[in-house]
Amino acid sequence: MLNYILRRLLYAIPILLGVNLLTFALFFMVNTPDDMARIHLGAKHVTPEAITRWKVEHGYDKPLFLNSAAAGVEKATDTLFVEKSLKLFVLDFGAADDGRDIAREIGQRMWPSLAIALPTFLVGLLAYLSFALLLVFFRGTALDTGGVILCVALMSISGLFYVIGGQYLMGKLWHWFPISGYQPGLDAWKFMVMPVLVSLIGGIGDSSRFYRALFIEEIGKDYVRTARAKGLSDLRVLFKHVLGNAMIPILTGVVVVIPRLFMGSLIIESFFGIPGLGSYTIDAIQAQDFAIVRSMVFLGSLLYIVGLVLTDISYTWADPRVRLE
Amino acid sequence: MTIKPVLLWSDALILLLLLTVAALVWLARKNDTFRAPWRQVMASRMGSATALILAVYAGIGLLDSMHYVERLPSAPGQQAQYSGEVFSALDALLKPLRVNVEKTYSAPLATHLYAKETVQGPDGVERRDYPPLKHPGSHLLGTDKVGQDVLYLSLKSIRTGLLIGTLTTLIMLPFALALGIAAGYFGGRIDDAIQYLYTTLNSIPGVLLIAAAVLVVQVQIEAHAELFDTAAARSDVRLLALCAILGVTGWTGLARLLRAEALKLRELEFVQAARAFGVTDARILLRHLLPNVMHLVLITVVIDFSGLVLAEAVLSYVGVGVDPGMISFGNMINGARLELAREPVVWWQLAAAFVFMFVLVLAANLFADQVRDALDPKSRGRK
Amino acid sequence: MSGLVVENLRVEIAAGGASNPRVLKPVDGVSFEIGANECVALLGESGCGKSLTALALMRLLPDGGRVASGSVRLAGVDDPHAALPTRQVDAEFISAEAPTTSLPPGGAQLPPWGGPAAGVDLFALTEAEMGEVRGGRLAMIFQEPQTSLNPVMTVAEQIDEALMAHRGLTGAAARAEAIRLLEAVGLSADKLDSYPFQLSGGQRQRALIAMMLAGEPEVLIADEPTTALDVTVQAQILKLLKDLQQQRGMSLLLITHDLDVAHDMADRVAVMYAGQIVEWAPSNALYTSPRHPYTQKLFAVLPRLDRRGERLDSLPGRVPGPGTDFTGCRFADRCPVAFERCRVEAPAFHEATPGHFARCHLAEAVGWVSQAKRDSPEGVTQRLGGFGSTDVGLRDKAAITLCLTYPTYKGGYVLDVRDLAVHFPIRKGLLKRTIGHVKAVDGVSLSVKAGETLALVGESGCGKTTLARAILRLIEPTAGQVSLLGEPLAGLQGEALRRKRAEMQIVFQDPFSSLNPRMKVGEILAEGMAALLSLSAAAQRERVADLLNQVGLPADAIGRYPHEFSGGQRQRIAIARALAVEPKLLILDEPTSALDVSVQAQILNLLADLQQKHGLAYLFITHNLSVVSYLAHRVAVMQGGKIVEAGEAEILLARPENAYTRLLLDSAPGKGR
C-alpha cells in the first residue's frame, strides 16, 4: 500500500512537470511578458521604458530558460522558468500583480470555499443517490418515467438560470436569505444556505440520472438474479447488493473531486459574493492576472492527482478484488 | 442593392462539416448495419420529434451562416466599396426585426418604453412619462437595453450555440480517434505516452485551462488587430479559437473510452484472424477497429453537443467565452441578469434566452438518449 | 413428501418496441412434474425455451417477459393431502435415505399434466409470499459461476443472507450452519471468509449450491450448472448434485443441452423443442428407444468413437424462432419422416409405452418404433463402456483415409513444433521489476502430417490457446522452434513471414466475435487473399464464390453481413476465410464448442470433407472428448503448459497411461451409456 502510494506520487512528478511546462508555454512563450505589460499598462502608457519598468517591478525581466548573464548555476536557475514555474513545486506561488502574496490569499480564501463546497458535496451525494435509488426501486412505473423526464429537463437548463432564479425567488421575492455576501463565524449559515441549495438543485438532474443508469446496469447482472433467487426482498437486493457493487463506479467519479473542494466553484462564489478561491480565480481571469491563474492551475492539478490516489485507495475499501501493489 | 458573399472561417468549417456528413451518409446509404439504428431512432415518436426540432434550429443556424457584405453607394467609376458590417441570409429575412430598434428596454408587445422619460406632450408641456415606441406592438419578445429586438437576438444566438456544439466536436474527433485507438491497439510505450498526455490535460481544472488558453488567444487577437478587417471576422476567429480550445482540451473523455474499446477489440478473434493473414496495422485500424467504435463516437458526439451549448453560457459569464460583441445565449443572459434587480423586473430577455436554450438542449438530450438506445446494445432495457 | 407440478406453462415476451409491438412465445404450453427425490432433466438445444421455463418457475423472468398462463404447484409437508403420485423408481436410484415406503407398489404413473392439482400455485402468490418460497422451498443455481456470485461480498455473508431470510439464523448459529453447508458441498470452512474472486470456477459453483441449500429447498433447479466448467470439475459438481439430491430427498430439475449429462443424472427426461416438450420419458426408455424423430436425430448426430470415419447424420435447417406461428408440428420442416398430416395438424402428446410420451403423430400407434431401431439400441450397446470400450466399434476407415497419398514435406510433417515455450513476465514492485514468469507454454513438441488430425486436449488455462497463437506467430515464442513444411519460422520477418502465413490459418471458437460485424462476407473472404495472394479482381471474385460453394453457403452471401447468419453458418464463413489463402495447416481452436450438437455435426462433416479434398493438416484444439474420439488420428493431452501424453487416438483413448489423461477420460459424461 505504502509502496503503491509512493509510486503514484512519483508518477505525479512528470504530470505536474507537464502541467508546468504547458502553462509556462502558454503564459511566457505564446504570450511574452511584453504583451502582458502592454495590457496592464493600457494603450495610452505603452512606451518601451514603461514596459521595462513594469517587467522589472513584477519580476518578468529575466530570460526564459537560460540566463547567460548570470554566473555558474545561476545561469540555469535565475530564469523565468525556475522563478515563476518550478517554484510552484514547493508551493511558492509568488505575488499577484497587485503585489499581494498568493499563498496567503489561498490560505485565507479556502475556508469560505470549503464552507460552501463541502455541504454541497455531502448533501448532494446523499440526495442524488437516494433519488436515484427511489427511481430504481420503482423502475418501470410512472414514477420512474416521470423522474427520468424531470432529470432530463433539469439537466437541460443552464446552471446560470438556477443561480439567477434562486437569487430572484429566495432572495428578492421571498426574502429568505441575503442575495449575496459572506460573513465568517456563526452567522455564516445565512449566506451558505442559498448557494448550497442552488448548487444541489442544479446538479440533481445530471447526477441522479447517471446514478440511476449505473444501478440499472448492475441490476441486469447475474449476481442480482442469484440474490433474488435466494428469496431476498427487493429492498435488501437494492441496498446490499446493487449499491455495494455500484459503489465502485460511483467512487470513481466522486472521490477524485474531494481534494478540489477547497478550490470552490467559480460560478456560485462569484454570483453569491463568497470570498473564496473560486471568486478569487474568476477575478484573476477577468483582471488577466496570470500569476494567480498559473498558481490555481498548478494547485488544481496537484489536488487532482491527490484525488486519483485517494480514489485508488477508496477502491480497496469498496472492492475486495483491488489490492494496491 | 449589390452584395458580395463573404465566407467566414466558421462558415467554411460548417461547409466542411456538412460535406463530411453528406459523404458519410452517401457511403453508408446502402449499409443496413448503419441505417437500421437511425431508422429505429426516426421511427420512435420521441426520436422524430426531437430530430425535427433540431432540424429547425439547424436550419436557422445555416441561414445565419450565409454571409455577405453590402456594397456602399459610391460614385460611378470609383472602385466598389463595401460596408464593414457583415450580414447573413437570416439578417436579410429578419430585416424588420433588425432595423426596428427602440431606445432601450420595452416589454413584449408593449407600446411604450420601459422607463419614464421627460417627454414633450402635444401641448408642449414637458412631463415624466413612458415615451411611446417607434414601432409599438412589433416586438414580440420585447427589446433589450439598447433597444434591440429580443426575438432577433434569440434567433441569432442559435448559430453561436450550434457552432460551439458541432465545431468543437469536429476539432476534437481527430485527436480522440487517433490517440484513443492507437493507445488501445498498440499498447506499450505508445499507450504510456498517450495516457500521460491525457492525464496531464485532465489534471488541469477544465475552466482554468480554457480560461488560460482563451486569455492567451485574446491577447494575440488584440496584438494583431490589423489582421481582421471586420468586427465579424474578429469575433469569428475568437469563436473558432474557443472551439479549438474546447476541442483540444475535450478529447480526453472520448479517447479514454476508445482506448478501452480498442483494447477489447484487438483481442477479438476477427482482429487476430486479420493478423494471421499478415494484414498491416494501418489496415486493421481502418477496416476492423474504426468501424467498430463508430457507434461510441456517434453517441459521444450527440451527448457532448448539449453540454457544449450549456458550457458556452457559463464561459461567457466567466469572461472567457465568445467575443462580448457577438450575439450568443451566454451574452444575452449576462446582459440581462443584473436587470432582475430593477423594479419592475426586466424578465423578457432572460426568459427568451431560457426558452430558446432549453428547447434546444432538451431536444438534443432526448435525441441523444434515442441515439444511444439505438446504437448501444448495452443500454437497451435501461429505460 | 414434496415435488413440483408444472401445468400448461406459457411465457410471453414483448418485443419489437413501441412502433412494431410483437409477442414472442418462447415457452408455449409446457407441462411436467418432478417427484420427491427425483431428478428430471429438461433437455434441449439453445433457444428451445428451457432456461426461460426455469426462470418462470422462480418468477424471475427478465424484464418484458411474463407468464401468460399455467400453474406451478409445490406440494409440501404443509399439505399432507397434497402428496404427489410418485414416479416409477429404478432400483439403482433408490438410495438408503430415500423414503421408499411411500412408493406405491409398481409405481403408479399418472400423466404429468392430468394429475390432481395439489399444493400451492406459485403464480397465485403475492411477491412477498413468493420471496419466502424462492430460495426456501424452491431454489435455483445458475450457469455462470464467474458472474453469479456477488463479487464484493464474502461467501459467508452471502450464505448468511439466505439463512437469515429463510431460517431466521444469525450470529454464531448462522456461522455454524454456514460451515455445515460448506462442508456439505465439499468446501472447507476456511473458504467462508473468501471473496468469490479468490475461488476457482468449481469452488464458486459449490459456494452457490451452498447458498441455495441454506433454505433447505424441496426442489432445486440447476440451469446448465456445469456448462462453463472444465470436464473434470463438471464430473465433481454433477456428482455433488446427485449426492445432495439423494441425501436430502430433494427434487432436482436439471436444465441441460448435454445428452450425456442428462443420461447420467436424470430419472426422467423432458426433451424440449421450440417452446414445447416433445418427448417425456424415463431416462432408460428414452435412451434405449427414443420416440420422437427430433430426439432420434439428436442421438444420431453425436460424434462418437464408434462412428469414426463415418459421416455424421445431420439435421437440416434451424430451430424456428419464438415469434413463429405454427399450424402443424413444430418439427415438421426438419423431420425426415414428416407426412401430410404433420403440416396441418399439431400432434398431441401420445403415450407410446407406459410413461413414455411423444408429441408425434407416429407415436399414436402403441409400440411404434421407427428409426430408433436403426440407430439407438445397437448404438447403446456398442457404447456401453464409453471410451474405455477399447475394441468395440473401432473402424478402419480412419486408417483408409490416411492411406490416401498427400505430398510429403521435408521431415514428413506439415507442422513440426520443437520445445516451444511462451513465458509471460510477472512484474512487481516500485520499478516493475520482473520477478518471475508465467510459463503458459513450457517446452511443447508436436507434429502434424498432411491429411492428419492431431487433437490437442486440455482444460482451460492449460496453455492450448497460447500455443496456437505462438505457432501462428501472433505472439512471439520465448524459446523453441516451429517449422512449417520443413522450413523454420523463427527469424522470418516482413515479407517472408507474410508469405509463410498463407500456409497456416486458424478457425476460432466463437462464431460471433470471429467475424467483423461491419464487413460483408465477400470482404471478409477477400481480406486474406488481398493480403497474401496476388490475384486479379475477377479471380478473387471467382475464388470467393468457389469458397462459399465449398463450405455450403449460398452465393448471395457475398453481399450480406455476418449478423444475418446463424452460428453454424458463421463458422462456415470462418472456415472459408481460412481456406481462402490455400493453407496447408488449419488450426481449429474449439471450432464447435459454441455450437449445438446438430450444427456441430454439420461442421465436423464439412471439416472431414475439406481435409480429404485438400489434404489439410488439422491441429484440433478441444476439450470435448467425444469429438476427439470421433475424428482425431492422434491425440496430445496438455496440462500446465506441457504435453503429458501423446499417441495414436485409438490406443491413447483405450489405454491411457498418464494419470491426468485417465482422469479426463473418466470425467467425461455419458460413460455409463
Q: Do B362 and A296 touch (CB under 8 A)?
A: no
H/E segment holding residue C127: helix C127-133
Whether the pLDDT of residue C13 is over 70: the answer is: yes
Q: Do B40 and C17 touch (CB under 8 A)?
A: yes
Whether the pLDDT of residue C80 is over 50: the answer is: no
Residues with Cβ < 8 Å from C204, sequence gap 6 or more?
A: C145, C146, C148, C149, C196
* Minimum mean pLDDT range among A130-139, B163-172, C73-82, C288-297: C73-82
Task: Among B32, B272, B283, select the one facing C561 at the smallest CB separation.
Answer: B32
The pLDDT of residue C370 is 46
Across chain C, what does the average pLDDT equal? 83
Residues with Cβ < 8 Å from C587, sequence gap 6 or more?
A: C468, C471, C472, C504, C505, C506, C507, C618, C619, C621
Q: Give the mean pLDDT of C63-70.
A: 90
From residue B351, how far is each of A153, A165, A174, B348, C7 by CA, in Å? 16, 11, 20, 5, 63
Q: Report how far residue C169's alpha carbon sits from residue A236's, in angstroms, rounded to the nearest whole number.
A: 17
Measured between beta carbons, which residues in chain B are less than 8 angstroms from residue A213? Answer: 379, 382
The pLDDT of residue C381 is 34
The answer to whether C602 and C636 have CB atoms below 8 angstroms apart is no
Residues with Cβ < 8 Å from B344, sequence gap 6 or more?
A: none
C63 touching chain B per CB within 8 A: yes
The pLDDT of residue C609 is 92
* Minimum mean pLDDT range among A81-95, B140-154, C138-152, C293-307: A81-95
CB atoms within 10 A of CB B371: 23
Q: What angle do CA B165, B171, B173 make, to 5 degrees?
A: 95
Give residue C388's pLDDT band: very low, low, confident or very high (50, 70, 90).
very low
The answer to whether B202 and A304 have CB atoms below 8 angstroms apart is yes
Q: Give the mean pLDDT of A254-282.
A: 91
Whether the pLDDT of residue C101 is over 70: the answer is: no
The pLDDT of residue C546 is 92
The pLDDT of residue A317 is 87
* Residue A213 C-alpha, separation from nearest chain B C-alpha, in angstroms: 7
Task: Among C58, C140, C150, select the one facing A241 at the smallest CB separation.
Answer: C150
A72 touching chain B per CB within 8 A: no
Measured between beta carbons, which residues in chain A are less than 8 angstroms from residue B340? Answer: 164, 167-168, 172
Q: Who wins on pLDDT, C324 or B381?
A: C324
The pLDDT of residue B259 is 95
For CA atoms C442, C447, C451, C455, give the dihedral sign. Answer: negative
CB atoms within 10 A of CB C394: 18
Q: Give the mean pLDDT of A209-218.
A: 93
CB atoms within 10 A of CB B291: 16
Between residues 290 and 349 of chain B, which touch chain C (CB distance below 8 Å)?
A: 291-292
Whether the pLDDT of residue C354 is over 60: the answer is: yes
Ranges of residues in chain B whose predicted pLDDT is under 70: 1, 77, 377-383
H/E segment holding residue C174: helix C171-184
* Residue B302 C-alpha, separation from nearest chain A C-alpha, in angstroms: 14
Q: Encode pLDDT of B255-282 as tens digits.
A: 999 999 999 999 899 999 999 998 989 9
* Minimum mean pLDDT range among A304-318, B195-209, C108-122: C108-122
Q: Who wins on pLDDT, A151 or C380?
A: A151
Q: Encode pLDDT of C212-248 as tens digits.
A: 999 999 999 999 999 888 999 999 999 999 999 999 9
Task: Among B269, B283, B381, select the one facing C508 at the smallest CB separation.
Answer: B269
Chains contacting chain C through 3 or more C-beta pairs under 8 A = A, B
Measured between beta carbons, which residues in chain C are less than 8 angstroms from residue A235? Answer: none
CB atoms within 10 A of CB B373: 22
Highest mean pLDDT among C17-26, C283-292, C386-395: C283-292
Give residue C100's pLDDT band: very low, low, confident or very high (50, 70, 90).
very low
Measured between beta carbons, which residues in chain A are less than 8 angstroms from residue B253? Answer: none
Q: Do A231 and C214 touch (CB under 8 A)?
A: no
Assembly ipTM: 0.87
From residue C185, how far is each of B206, C195, C217 by CA, in Å? 55, 17, 15
* Residue C102 C-alpha, separation from nearest chain A C-alpha, in angstroms: 30
Amino acid at B37: P
The answer to whether C354 and C340 have CB atoms below 8 angstroms apart is no
- Angle, helices B252-265 vs B188-203, to 10°: value is 160
Q: Give the mean pLDDT of C177-188.
A: 94
H/E segment holding residue C25: strand C22-34
CB atoms within 10 A of CB A312: 19
The pLDDT of residue C110 is 38
A231 touching chain C per CB within 8 A: yes
Would you give the distance in Å from CA B296 to the centre of its chain? 21
Task: Among C510, C517, C532, select the one facing B278 at the smallest CB separation.
Answer: C532
Residues with Cβ < 8 Å from C531, sequence gap 6 or more?
A: B277, B278, B279, B280, B283, C498
The pLDDT of residue B53 is 96
Find the closest chain B residue to A257 by CA distance: B205
Give residue A77's pLDDT band: very low, low, confident or very high (50, 70, 90).
confident
A100 touching chain C per CB within 8 A: no
Q: Do C147 and A221 touch (CB under 8 A)?
A: yes
Q: Encode pLDDT of A113-157 as tens digits.
A: 999 999 999 999 999 999 999 999 998 899 999 999 999 999 999
The pLDDT of residue C159 is 95
Amino acid at A116: I
Measured between beta carbons, which residues in chain C are less than 8 angstroms from residue A136? Answer: none
Instruction: Residue B15: name the closest of B64, B62, B67, B69 by CA.
Output: B62
DSSP string, C514-538: TS-TTS-HHHHHHHHHHHH----HH
Which of A145, A223, A241, A316 to mutate against chain C (most C CBs within 10 Å)? A223
**pTM summary value:** 0.87
A323 touching chain C per CB within 8 A: no
The pLDDT of residue C427 is 78
How many A-B residue pairs are in contact by the CB < 8 A criterion?
A: 130
The pLDDT of residue C353 is 86
Q: Who wins on pLDDT, B274 or C490?
A: B274
The pLDDT of residue C246 is 93
Burial status of residue B324 (CB atoms within 10 A of its CB: 0-12, 13-18, 19 or more) = middle
Instruction: For residue C18, give the C-alpha cell.
Output: 413501441
Find the closest chain C residue to A222 by CA distance: C148
Which 3-state string (H, E, C) describes chain B? CCEEEECCHHHHHHHHHHHHHHHHHHHCCCCHHHHHHHHHHHHCHHHHHHHHHHHHHHHHHHHCCCEEEEECCCCCCCCCCEEEEEEEHHHHHCHHHHHCCCCCCECCCCCECCCCEEEECCCCCEEEECCECCCCCCCCCCECCCCCEHHHHHHHHHHHHHHHHHHHHHHHHHHHHHHHHHHHHHCHHHHHHHHHHHHHHHHCCHHHHHHHHHHHHHHHHHHCHHHCCCHHHHHHHHHHHHHHHHHHHHCHHHHHHHHHHHHHHCCCHHHHHHHHCCCCHHHHHHHHHHHHHHHHHHHHHHHHHHHHHHHHHHHHHHCCCCCCCCCCHHHHHHHHHHHHHCCCCCCHHHHHHHHHHHHHHHHHHHHHHHHHHHHCHHHCCCC
Q: Do C63 and B292 touch (CB under 8 A)?
A: no
Q: Report how far residue C41's alpha carbon sits from residue C39's, in angstroms, rounded to the nearest whole number.
A: 7
B267 touching chain C per CB within 8 A: no
The answer to whether B134 and B124 have CB atoms below 8 angstroms apart is no
Give residue C94's pLDDT band: very low, low, confident or very high (50, 70, 90).
very low
Whether the pLDDT of residue C535 is over 50: the answer is: yes
